[in-house]
Amino acid sequence: MINWKKQIIILISLILFLLSIIIITAVNAESPRQSEKEATHPQQNTANNHRGSDQSPLIVKILPTIKNNVEAENETKEKEEKATNDKRIIQITGILAVIGFLQLIVFGLQARRLRQTVEVTKEAANATTNSVANISKIERAYVFVTVEQHPQALEPIYEIDGYKGYFVLNANVRCWNLGRTPAVITKIRAIISFGKAIIPEIEESDIPSGIVVGSDKWKNITAISPRFNDIERQNIYNLNTIAYCCGRIEYQDVFYGKYIRGFCWEFGAPISRPNEPWIISAKYKDLNYEKEQKEGG
């Protein structure tokens, strides 16, 4: 496809070049001409006679100065040359004006082309930035939490060894990475509370910092409740007292993103679902979230 704008710019540039050559030729042809003036001085031979003496005195008759033919022709030529020069100056000035106008057109087209190039470059840069951002969202790690019965416990509530009549409630907190790239868990904290959901402080972690969880892998931690007596155990089983397992996880992905995952589950149906007694809390659903951790946050 022919680029007409580029062809126009090349044509105008060629015209400017030809006009410049014409101007240079005209200026060189207008070299100053030297007017040759011939000054004639009649020479008079001094005769060795008695003119100018008392015997023969000189009589001088003063006549008005008359221009000779050479001076008149030179003056006429100078006037004609001056008129010709003035005419040529006017012509050159007009040509320069045309050149200036054509240059304005060329500069305008070049400026427009440059602006279009900058806009295209800017759009490409924005597209690249958006593409990188979209790739990081697709490929990043996503950590989710499930709360389950501890696999080594026969029942979720069991009696403490050496403390007859006292019981504890256990929960297995499993951190799943359902993203496509590994996650690095920096902090995790989970506690079990009764009657009210309590979000633990994240300053302390239940595991060492820097645990790597690969794609479609998990990491388990155990949450154990404070001990309680048999009456409280019956209330928990009968759902008169609701037990909650809540916590937070801080983790990073390979794209240097930092995230916080909150979770809150409740001990809901130990009789009808003995193997899966923990369910996501409907009362404290706002405590199940994920947000990006900003710098300094």
pLDDT at residue 29 in the model:
57
Q: What is the pLDDT of residue 37?
A: 43
Which residues lie below 8 Å from residue 237, measured CB to CB, with a gap of 6+?
A: 157, 270, 271
Q: Give the pLDDT score at 6.
A: 66
Q: Is residue 33 over pLDDT 50?
A: no
Minimal CA–CA distance to 193: which of 236, 129, 229? 236
Provide the pLDDT confidence category of residue 277 given band limits of 50, 70 and 90. confident
Three-state DSSP state, 198: coil
Position 112 scores a pLDDT of: 80
Pairing of strands 166-177, 143-148: antiparallel
Least confident of 18-22, 174-178, 193-197, 224-228: 18-22
pLDDT band at 40 (very low <50, low <70, confident <90, very high): very low
Q: Select from 249, 251, 284 the least CA-distant residue to 265.
A: 284
Tell me the whole-structure pTM to 2 decimals: 0.56
- Computed over every residue of the chain, the mean pLDDT equals 78
Among 132-136, 231-235, 279-283, the least confident range: 132-136
For residues 218 and 103, the model is more confident at: 218
Cβ atoms within 10 A of the Cβ of 277, count? 24
Number of other residues whose CB lies within 10 A of the CB of residue 144: 16
Whole-angstrom Cα distance, residue 145 to residue 220? Answer: 10
Structure confidence at residue 119 (pLDDT):
79
Q: Quick one: what percent of the chain has pLDDT higher than 70?
A: 73
Confidence of residue 47 (pLDDT cuts 50, 70, 90): very low
pLDDT tens, position by position, 76-122: 888 888 888 878 888 788 787 888 788 778 777 778 878 877 877 77
